Amino acid sequence: MKRFSKIELFEIRNLIPMQQLMEDLQILSIQENKIFRFLCPICKGYNTSINHETNLGRCFNCNKNFNTIDITIKIRTTNFVDTVKYLKKYLSHYQTRLAKQNTNIEPLHKEHTWQKEINFKKSPESKNDSPIKLSKILQNIIKPEQKINSNENLNWSEYCRSNDKRLFIIEQKVALALNMLDKLQNKTLKN
């Protein structure tokens, strides 16, 4: 009889998502109030649920917990050794599918290539300064149209403070980003 290591069994129990395995094993299931419910292989009831944190399925009718090995043994009606061999192959295929899905990496846009070129050092006043932070601040800023009447003598910052706190915060972020860019530019010129 073949022995499996604790690591192999741990990976099979925890790295294969229970819901994905049940769908691939074609276990009858329903979606009820955004909760995945599967047909219990013992009592044939739908009073079931999956805890995604522990990767366990549970039937509340017969009070039985299922891990990936248990559910596969019941559905495929095989012994423990054959089930573990099957799940090892399943895990490798599942990880290959995940790797193929995650390989769609977007190339760095031309306008962001300056981030690579600058050797950025953090200033003592702000330990969180970085070119990436600057670009994120600038990308997230959308300046709305000014709705100031010509009769009112308000400047843009007074308008923002008086009418919309979010707009005032945006203006402050722009000022901070421009200040940080000036400091960064001065540092690169000195070097």
| Bridging pattern class, strands 35-38 and 64-66 | unpaired
Which pLDDT belongs to residue 121? 44
DSSP state of 107: P
CA distances, 82 to each of 72, 76, 125 (Å) = 10, 10, 63
Mean pLDDT of 29-48: 88
pLDDT in tens, 56-80: 999 999 999 999 999 999 999 999 9
Cα–Cα distance measured from residue 98 to residue 96, given in angstroms and rounded to the nearest whole number: 5
Mean pLDDT of 111-133: 47
Q: What are phi and psi of 88, to 5 degrees?
A: -65, -45
Contact 57, 36 (CB under 8 A): no
The percent of the chain in helix, strand and coil, each rounded to the nearest 5, is: 50, 10, 40
Where residue 184 falls among pLDDT bands split at 50, 70, 90? confident
| pLDDT over threshold 70, residue 126 | no
Q: Would you list the domain boundaries of the chain? A: 6-101, 110-190
| Cβ contacts of 118 within 8 Å, gap of 6 or more | 131, 184, 188
Higher pLDDT, 70 or 137: 70
Closest CA to 43 of 74, 76, 77: 74
| pLDDT over threshold 90, residue 139 | no
| pLDDT over threshold 80, residue 179 | no
| pLDDT over threshold 70, residue 138 | no
Mean pLDDT of 129-146: 50
Contact 70, 60 (CB under 8 A): no
**Domain 6-101 has what CATH class?**
alpha beta
Sign of CA dihedral 55, 59, 64, 69: negative
CA distances, 132 to each of 65, 115, 145, 177 (Å) = 46, 7, 27, 11
Helices and strands of the chain, counted as H and E runs: 8, 5
Closest CA to 69 of 13, 28, 118: 13
